[in-house]
């Protein structure tokens, strides 16, 4: 068993472990979750405040009292917001053709589209499935957001593994959501493209994709317009989800991104921060947070 395989064995437990085994094996220093590391401001749309009963229920069930309030909306089963992520989950777990994907890249054309917010909510939705576990990996080494959304420190993470060969078992964090783990980005490096284009990163993707049949791995990548590493990562994953903020990226820019990663890899487009009445005009009467990209370009 190689060094990386041993690290994942310590981090996630044995392949036959159920949810409890996975949670117990997500090793990291015990004080890591308590540290308050500085993190950049999350660029995502605003959301209504949670009802007190939902907030209390979420904290009790998932230990999510430290989560960003917008993310805690994902624990309200009656929310239409949640239903849209369930639709996206169904598309991922039960594709109309072929086999389900194991590795997913979440990206956007430009900054401030809310891709980190969508990535986190998708991870929550996938982990709520009966038979699936999810691992989030923050590959936005320039403006990381996932650790902050889950109320975790971002002082160590993926950068430390790629640059300093730090054991991954020390970097995997519990999120407070059963069956959902996170590898934060760590502190922004000077050479993000080189780190993500390294053989070590390729090995990591292969390892997390192949070692556990019930785990889906979701990578949050930088916006394609400002970072070359997005196209690097897109070539190494099974599928890509593109986040489009209403009033943000232009249709032709989104189409260009789809063409660059390959239309066959695009699982769908997630519309973010839209007004329902305007989206009805933009898309016809089919209004939804998630939308199939083929319909988007029909």
- Residue 119 is part of a domain; what is its CATH number? 3.40.50.300
Residue 169 lies in a domain: yes
Count of positions (residues) in the chain: 298
Q: How far apart are CA 49 and CA 44, in angstroms?
A: 15
Handedness of CA 293, 294, 297, 298 (dihedral sign): negative
Residue 66 lies in a domain: no
Q: Which two tokens stand for residue 186?
A: 């760590």
The predicted pLDDT at position 97 comes to: 83
**Do 124 and 61 touch, CB atoms closer than 8 A?**
no
Is 280 or 105 the better-scoring residue by pLDDT?
105
**Do 68 and 204 touch, CB atoms closer than 8 A?**
no
Residue 182 lies in a domain: yes
Residue 56 lies in a domain: no
Angle between helices 80-93 and 115-127 (to 10 degrees): 70
**Do 233 and 196 touch, CB atoms closer than 8 A?**
yes
- pLDDT category of residue 67 using cuts at 50, 70 and 90: confident
pTM (whole model) above 0.85? no
Residue 254 lies in a domain: yes
Is 22 or 159 the better-scoring residue by pLDDT?
159
Residue 24 lies in a domain: no
What b/e sequence results for 182-206 when a residue is b if at least 16 CB atoms lie within 10 Å of its CB, and e otherwise? bbbbbeebeebbebbbeeebeebbe
Q: Nearest-CA neighbor of 37 among 150, 115, 122?
A: 150
Burial class for 154, CB neighbours closer than 10 Å (0-12, 13-18, 19+): buried
Q: Nearest-CA neighbor of 169 among 27, 31, 32, 34?
A: 27
55 pLDDT more than 80:
no
Domain with 153 in it: 76-296
pLDDT digits (tens, 9 = 90+) for 78-102: 777 788 888 889 989 988 888 899 9
Q: Nearest-CA neighbor of 57 among 76, 32, 35?
A: 76
pLDDT digits (tens, 9 = 90+) for 165-220: 998 889 999 999 999 999 999 999 999 999 999 999 999 999 888 877 789 999 99
Q: How many domains does the chain have?
A: 1
Residue 37 lies in a domain: no
Residues of the chain with pLDDT > 70, as a percent, come to 67
18 pLDDT more than 80:
no
Average pLDDT, the chain: 75
Q: How far apart are CA 297 and CA 274, in angstroms?
A: 18
């Amino acid at each position: 068993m190689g060094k990386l395989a041993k690290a994942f064995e310590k981090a996630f437990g044995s392949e036959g472990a159920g949810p409890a085994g996975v949670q117990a094996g997500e090793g990291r220093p015990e004080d890591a979750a308590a540290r308050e590391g500085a993190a950049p401001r999350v660029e995502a749309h605003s959301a209504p405040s949670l009802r007190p009963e939902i907030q209390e229920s979420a904290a009790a069930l998932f230990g999510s009292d430290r989560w960003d309030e917008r993310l805690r909306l994902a624990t309200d089963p009656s929310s239409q917001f949640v239903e849209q992520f369930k639709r996206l989950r169904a598309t991922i777990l039960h594709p109309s053709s072929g086999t389900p994907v194991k590795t997913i890249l979440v990206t956007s054309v430009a900054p401030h589209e809310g891709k980190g917010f969508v990535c986190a909510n998708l991870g929550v939705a996938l982990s709520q499935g009966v038979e699936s576990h999810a691992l989030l990996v923050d590959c936005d080494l320039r403006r990381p957001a996932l650790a902050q959304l889950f109320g975790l420190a971002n002082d160590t993470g993926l950068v430390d593994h790629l640059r300093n060969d730090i054991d991954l078992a020390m970097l995997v964090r519990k999120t407070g959501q059963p069956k959902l783990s996170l590898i934060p980005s760590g502190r922004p490096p000077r050479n993000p493209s080189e780190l993500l284009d390294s053989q070590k990163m390729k090995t990591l993707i292969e390892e997390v994709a192949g070692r556990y049949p019930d785990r889906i791995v979701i990578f949050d990548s930088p916006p394609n317009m400002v970072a070359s590493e997005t196209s690097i990562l897109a070539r190494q994953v099974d599928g890509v989800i593109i986040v489009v903020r209403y009033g943000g990226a232009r249709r032709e820019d989104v189409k260009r991104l789809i063409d660059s990663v390959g239309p066959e890899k695009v699982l769908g487009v997630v519309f973010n921060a839209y007004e329902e009445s305007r989206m009805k005009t933009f898309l016809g009467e089919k209004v939804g947070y998630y939308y199939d990209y083929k319909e988007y370009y029909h």
